[in-house]
Chains A and B, each alone.
Chain A
């Protein structure tokens, strides 16, 4: 089975510098009645993105002309907190995003993102502030992510290292299917069960 891959990416970014964005904002619960993953991108940040009459809120970052085609979200501290819903990365990916840059990610969100080819990139607060400033100066700012080298860079910024656990990195680089990997341990699981019966 094929799994999502990520190697390198150079793309424009959108900046949403709000702290503690919870997964209820990313995708409100009323859209969780779906039984597949389709269409969630249209509902991404729904209550911030659309006005009460359903029209796009022109002030919201995703609706600005320069945001169209962006592939990287620059988010605030503790992005993705709250509910475990995997619908959150499904919605982000559905909109077209491939990486999120923040100073901290909530644990469950981070795990869910990695499984969907959405790369969570954690950088230090000073670097994050510099990225936001550079993007403010230049709305077309190209940001380059190299997962092999574990770096993120933009014009004026030398490649910055970011942490990722080696297993997740390998899975994304090589498109390793995690369920397939787990299934290889069935004999060990059976032995465990026999020992604990």
Chain B
């Protein structure tokens, strides 16, 4: 008898169930646990209280990214930040956990260094006390964010209690037009389904547009799955995935590599497997996308006018849109193009990889950041920074008038010194435009690296396609 067809998600889930008692969630084995300074202190404290050890330090990797200043060095952090960073150091030292500390040339944003160092591999279960752990699904792994209690559970047992989520296929077919990128795909998906549309589900992104994306593009898409409410987003692994992983420090080598690839080739969703629901999008019709409101689902094509609350029939939705537009100081029905910009932020776990910096630098080369704009470029890791510098990308940014920083979450989370002042409008390549996300009173427009550069050059929200030669 042949087995019933399975989705990529189902295969990984089934392969990781350690035990399951009736009426209880599954005990799921975790292959890789990523740790950072902000969501781990209280979890390590629980271990200490109970006299427990980290069960598998060899499956645990730590980095400093959220609260570290991108000006470099502990000294740049405030007192609480320094305490938090030092505590991660001592916790990792006490438990024998590999940590990419401030002096490491490989330190960086947790979701950048996981793939970069080869920790992230197809078929794995990957967790981190960070909702953007969905990024790792780009490799055909099951990556999802967890709370600090669960960080403690995984540290102590390498397992997690999980209820099985439902599956949702997000099918994106068609060829992207010039100036339209992976970021625009995911912003369009979010605009279509809204911020709660994926709640209770795991996304699998399929279709020709997804297959055509490079690994960095797939990471950008999977990264923002959580902005649609889906804890995880996945892409079936293919040759492009294997090429990316091959040769990285922690990737399998030699005969182990061959065995791994043979196993990984079995992961893609079987023909005939079904999803609980499906969402479709035509990539060939997409334009550069920008958000206009205070959640990532409030996005429009850059050429479109801002929506009008009066057109919404649901009173709660109308009130939500009114509140968002009022916070953003945007007038309903007006174009978003031409809105004056104060800050441009190129960085975050969504768009801070070498490919992102190259695309931005290519558009910025020979141009200047407008006099009214402060542009910050923050590489996703020190490795990205070094690679960018060896290609001369840093010079392009600096000559254009942008600020070139050390790796970190920077202005995406605004708890490290990099932040907006009240009222400032930023065009950001990050993932969240929530009220005050980039600094109290700050206003955020999410966009692709190309759209961010266009805004930096024009000093206002501008269509990047006008800059393409």
Report Cα–Cα, A34/B316, bound state, in Å: 35
B320: chain A residues at CB < 8 Å are: 18-20, 76
Given contacts A36-B42, A85-B39, contact A182 B199 (CB under 8 A): no
B177 within 8 A of A: no
Q: Smallest CB–CB gap between B111 and chain A, Å?
A: 13
Given contacts A20-B196, A36-B41, contact A84 B157 (CB under 8 A): no
A193: chain B residues at CB < 8 Å are: 29
B81 within 8 A of A: yes
Q: Smallest CB–CB gap between A180 and chain B, Å?
A: 9
B325 within 8 A of A: no
| In the complex, chain A residues 181-197 whose Cβ is within 8 Å of any chain B Cβ | 181-183, 185-186, 188-189, 192-193, 196
B468: chain A residues at CB < 8 Å are: none
User: Closest residue of chain A to B296, judged by CB?
Assistant: A82
Given contacts A33-B80, A81-B229, A179-B156, contact A167 B25 (CB under 8 A): yes
| In the complex, chain B residues 146-179 whose Cβ is within 8 Å of any chain A Cβ | 146-150, 152-153, 156-161, 163, 165
User: Closest residue of chain B to A47, judged by CB?
Assistant: B436
Given contacts A19-B317, A20-B195, A189-B29, contact A86 B45 (CB under 8 A): no
Partner of A185, one of B159, B297, B414: B159
Partner of B196, one of A81, A83, A108: A81
A25: chain B residues at CB < 8 Å are: 434-436
| In the complex, chain A residues 8-40 whose Cβ is within 8 Å of any chain B Cβ | 17-20, 22, 24-25, 28-30, 32-37
User: Closest residue of chain B to A33, judged by CB?
Assistant: B80
Report Cα–Cα, A179/B27, bound state, in Å: 11
User: Closest residue of chain B to A116, judged by CB?
Assistant: B149
A86: chain B residues at CB < 8 Å are: 39, 42, 129, 147-149
Q: Smallest CB–CB gap between A136 and chain B, Å?
A: 14
A135: chain B residues at CB < 8 Å are: none
How many B residues, CB 8 Å from partner? Answer: 67
Given contacts A33-B84, A78-B229, contact A192 B18 (CB under 8 A): yes
B248 within 8 A of A: no
Report Cα–Cα, A139/B86, bound state, in Å: 47
User: Mind listing 6 A-B residue pairs with CB under 8 Å?
Assistant: A19-B320, A24-B436, A29-B66, A77-B196, A115-B147, A182-B160
| B156 near A107: Cβ-Cβ < 8 Å | no
Given contacts A84-B146, A86-B149, A107-B231, contact A20 B295 (CB under 8 A): yes
B463 within 8 A of A: no
Report Cα–Cα, A159/B11, bound state, in Å: 41
Given contacts A20-B320, A111-B147, A188-B19, contact A81 B156 (CB under 8 A): no
Interface residues of B (CB under 8 A from A): 18-19, 23-25, 27, 29, 38-39, 41-42, 45-46, 50, 55, 66-67, 78, 80-81, 83-84, 87, 129-131, 145-150, 152-153, 156-161, 163, 165, 195-196, 199-200, 226-227, 229, 231, 295, 297, 316-317, 319-320, 323, 413-415, 422, 432, 434-437, 440
Q: Smallest CB–CB gap between B229 and chain A, Å?
A: 6
Report Cα–Cα, A76/B295, bound state, in Å: 15
A1 within 8 A of B: yes
| A189 near B158: Cβ-Cβ < 8 Å | yes
A166 within 8 A of B: yes
A104 within 8 A of B: yes
User: Closest residue of chain A to B314, judged by CB?
Assistant: A19
| A19 near B437: Cβ-Cβ < 8 Å | no
Report Cα–Cα, A33/B81, bound state, in Å: 6
| A178 near B149: Cβ-Cβ < 8 Å | yes
| A47 near B87: Cβ-Cβ < 8 Å | no
Q: Smallest CB–CB gap between A162 and chain B, Å?
A: 16
| A24 near B434: Cβ-Cβ < 8 Å | yes
Report Cα–Cα, A167/B146, bound state, in Å: 18
B434: chain A residues at CB < 8 Å are: 22, 24-25, 82
A112 within 8 A of B: yes
| A84 near B147: Cβ-Cβ < 8 Å | yes
B18: chain A residues at CB < 8 Å are: 185, 188-189, 192
Partner of B83, one of A35, A85, A112, A115: A35
